[in-house]
């Protein structure tokens, strides 16, 4: 869970209370949805989160695992 918080903290820098305005997340949504980043709104962010929450949490687990490798820790 701490890994998820760290990821969001870094990914939403400058837009912590409005993550759909984060340039990084808008770019990620653009590549995932195929919708231009300028058109991404709060509704798109929350709809995607709700419909793909299982995949989203798998991604956060992967981020945590990769961070562990980068920090030199084993994730056994």
- Tell me whether residue 76 is in a domain: no
Task: Please enumerate in sequence order all residues whose Cβ is within 8 A of that of 6, keeping only pairs 6 or more positions apart, or say none.
Answer: 67
- Tell me whether residue 6 is in a domain: yes
| Cβ–Cβ < 8 Å for 46, 25 | no
pLDDT grade, residue 72 (50/70/90)? Answer: confident
Using the structure block, give the residue that is written with the tokens 């949504």: 29
Q: What confidence tens digit (pLDDT) does each residue in 16-39 have?
A: 778 778 887 788 888 887 888 888
> Residue 31: which domain range?
2-69
What pLDDT shows up at residue 65? 83
Q: Could you give the number of structural domains in the chain?
A: 1
- What pTM was computed for the model? 0.51
- Tell me whether residue 15 is in a domain: yes
- Tell me whether residue 75 is in a domain: no
- Tell me whether residue 7 is in a domain: yes
- Tell me whether residue 32 is in a domain: yes
Q: Which of 3, 21, 4, 66 is nearest to 12 (CA)?
A: 21
What pLDDT shows up at residue 1? 61
């Amino acid at each position: 869970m701490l890994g998820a918080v760290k990821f969001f903290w870094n990914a939403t820098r400058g837009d912590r209370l409005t993550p759909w305005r984060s340039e990084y997340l808008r770019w990620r949504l653009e590549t995932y949805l195929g919708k231009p980043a300028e058109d991404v709104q709060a509704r798109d962010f929350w709809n995607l989160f709700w419909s793909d929450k299982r995949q989203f949490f798998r991604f956060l687990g992967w981020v945590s695992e990769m961070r562990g490798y980068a920090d030199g820790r084993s994730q056994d």
